[in-house]
Amino acid sequence: MLAAQQRTAVTAERNIDVPDDDRRTVLAEALPEASDDTPLMAELRLDAQRRIELRGRRFAPPPQTRVITVANQKGGVGKTTTTVNLAAALAQAGLKVLVIDNDPQGNASTALGVDHRAGTKSVYEVLIDGDPVEPAVQECPDIPGLFCLPATIDLSGAEIELVSMVARESRLRRAVDEYLAQQEAAGARFDYVLVDCPPSLGLLTVNAFVVGREVLIPIQCEYYALEGLSQLLKTVTLIQAHLNRDLHVSTILLTMYDTRTNLARQVADEVREHFPDKTLATTIPRSVRISEAPSYGQTVLTYDAGSSGALAYLEAARELAERGAAPTQPDGQTITEGTEPSRQEDQ
Ligand SMILES: Nc1ncnc2c1ncn2[C@@H]1O[C@H](COP(=O)(O)OP(=O)(O)OP(=O)(O)O)[C@@H](O)[C@H]1O
Ligand SMILES: [Mg+2]
């Protein structure tokens, strides 16, 4: 029986005349059964199903470029990891994507394998010198269609330099809008722009909020994860009122989810309860492969494409793309203030 299923699956995989979805169905049906009393087997089966479902899929481009700022003033919650891996997943699915590394740490540039040594043209020259974006953009060596505006160490001084500058909050927006318009006019429109932010709510993050239309907040499934969220939402509301009417929190992504702890589940439940429409169904698991990838100058999508971390980011990217370009609240309203969930009780 198993052999027959596998034969059908192999035929389906090779037969290019069979429609894509039919092939995926046949492949999924050919997977061996796994009972719940063998958790490892069940997990392997689930991963195999997700691989069949997701690998090689093309995502529909949005009707217009989606500019998404990935922000959370808490450090180490997975902003950069989310930015680069979602960007890689979207690009692998056939879309044209730009990552703006707006963090002096330059972690997104490192993970994408682009040059960002001191002296490299970067977001610093765009922000401070008013240079155009185009000469500073580099294509990611491993993933066609994925581009990066890198950050160098120079950016660490920008926060202070910006203070006395004219139009200090909208310098990035002006330059990026011009670049996106040029690309579109040349018939090479970007589908997605993802902006990585530093762990603060200073002028670099403000510039990132002014350039974005949507905000994606990664939330780490840990104790204290929700502290500071109301401050972040308040900042978004202020930016929307004074600097960028289009800005709204469109997406929340739960990261570093550890299935073995009750705390992770509690944090996830609480976030979903408060933000049911914003929180993606996909959660990103805590995964060694995800944390190893940047040290090879790679995203997990190229470092270990079959790993559960890569599949989770692919799934999250698919959800993001399917939620489409239409903002969840077309009137541009943001989440209201004062909705910060209570702090988690310890286990
Ligand atoms: N799902 C995951 N599983 C395991 N490790 C992860 C995961 N996501 C991120 N990490 C690791 O956690 C650390 C923090 O992640 P990351 O740099 O993406 O956070 P960040 O919010 O950008 O941090 P910062 O605030 O310093 O910019 C990194 O070492 C990263 O490799
Ligand atoms: Mg970061």
CATH number at residue 164: 3.40.50.300
What pLDDT shows up at residue 57? 82
* Same domain, yes or no: 278 and 193: yes
Ligand 1 centroid to Cα of residue 232, in Å, is: 19
Ligand 2 centroid to Cα of residue 75, in Å, is: 7
Question: What domain range is 39 assigned to?
Answer: 2-54
- Whether residue 346 is contained in a domain is answered as no
Per-residue CA distances from 24 to 60, 76, 85, 187, 311 (Å): 18, 37, 24, 33, 16
* Same domain, yes or no: 166 and 280: yes
Mutate which of 73, 80, 81, 261 for ligand 1 pocket (most atoms within 8 A of beta carbon)? 81
Mean pLDDT score of the chain, rounded to an integer?
87
Q: Name the residue among 284, 315, 327, 312 with its Cα closest to residue 57.
A: 315
User: Contact 117/64 with Cβ under 8 angstroms?
Assistant: no
Give nearest CA residue, ligand 1 atom 25.
Answer: 75
What pLDDT shows up at residue 83? 98
- Whether residue 333 is contained in a domain is answered as no
- Whether residue 59 is contained in a domain is answered as no
* Same domain, yes or no: 118 and 41: no
**Spans in the chain with pLDDT lower than 50:** 1-2, 9-10, 12-13, 16, 325-347
For the residues of 103-148, what is the DSSP string, one character each? -TT-HHHHHTT----TTS--HHHHHHS---SGGG-EE-SSSTTEEE
* Same domain, yes or no: 105 and 42: no
Q: Name the residue among 315, 293, 308 with its Cα closest to residue 258.
A: 308
- Whether residue 339 is contained in a domain is answered as no
Ligand 2 centroid to Cα of residue 235, in Å, is: 19
- Whether residue 136 is contained in a domain is answered as yes
* Same domain, yes or no: 165 and 284: yes
Which atom number of ligand 1 is nearest to the Cα of residue 72?
21
Ligand nearest to the CA of 295: 1
User: Contact 145/113 with Cβ under 8 angstroms?
Assistant: no
Which atom number of ligand 1 is nearest to the Cα of residue 77?
21
* Same domain, yes or no: 77 and 177: yes
Burial 297-308 (b: 16+ CB within 10 A, else e): bbbbbbbbeebb
* Same domain, yes or no: 88 and 36: no
How many structural domains does the chain have?
2
What pLDDT shows up at residue 19? 63
- Whether residue 343 is contained in a domain is answered as no
CB-based burial label for 264 (10 Å; 0-12, 13-18, 19+): buried
* Ligand 1 pocket list (CB less than 6 A): 75-81, 103, 105, 107, 199, 255-256, 284, 286-287, 290-291, 294, 309
* Same domain, yes or no: 11 and 150: no
Backbone angles phi, psi at 147, to 5 degrees: -120, 155
Give nearest CA residue, ligand 1 atom 23.
Answer: 76
Which atom number of ligand 1 is nearest to the Cα of residue 293?
31
Cα–Cα distance, 332 to 240 (Å, whole number): 9
* Same domain, yes or no: 229 and 315: yes
Q: Name the residue among 314, 340, 326 with its Cα closest to residue 82.
A: 314
Q: How many CA atoms lie within 13 A of 103 on its CB side?
A: 28
What pLDDT shows up at residue 272? 94
Mutate which of 100, 283, 291 for ligand 1 pocket (most atoms within 8 A of beta carbon)? 291
Q: Name the residue among 239, 148, 171 with its Cα closest to residue 201.
A: 239
Cα–Cα distance, 248 to 323 (Å, whole number): 14
- Whether residue 327 is contained in a domain is answered as no
Handedness of CA 165, 171, 174, 180 (dihedral sign): positive
Strand partners, 113: none
* Same domain, yes or no: 50 and 72: no
Query: How many Cβ atoms are within 10 Å of 108's Cβ, its own excluded?
Result: 31
**What is the DSSP-derived secondary structure letter of residue 241?**
H
Cα–Cα distance, 104 to 124 (Å, whole number): 9
Ligand 1 centroid to Cα of residue 208, in Å, is: 19
Cα–Cα distance, 177 to 185 (Å, whole number): 12
Which three-class secondary structure state does DSSP give residue 172?
Answer: helix
* Same domain, yes or no: 214 and 298: yes
- Whether residue 115 is contained in a domain is answered as yes
Which three-class secondary structure state does DSSP give residue 148?
Answer: strand
pTM, whole model, 2 decimals?
0.85
Ligand 2 centroid to Cα of residue 198, in Å, is: 6
Query: How many Cβ atoms are within 10 Å of 142's Cβ, its own excluded?
Result: 18
Backbone angles phi, psi at 220, to 5 degrees: -80, 135
Which atom number of ligand 1 is nearest to the Cα of residue 196?
22
Which atom number of ligand 1 is nearest to the Cα of residue 105?
27
Ligand nearest to the CA of 75: 1
* Same domain, yes or no: 100 and 138: yes
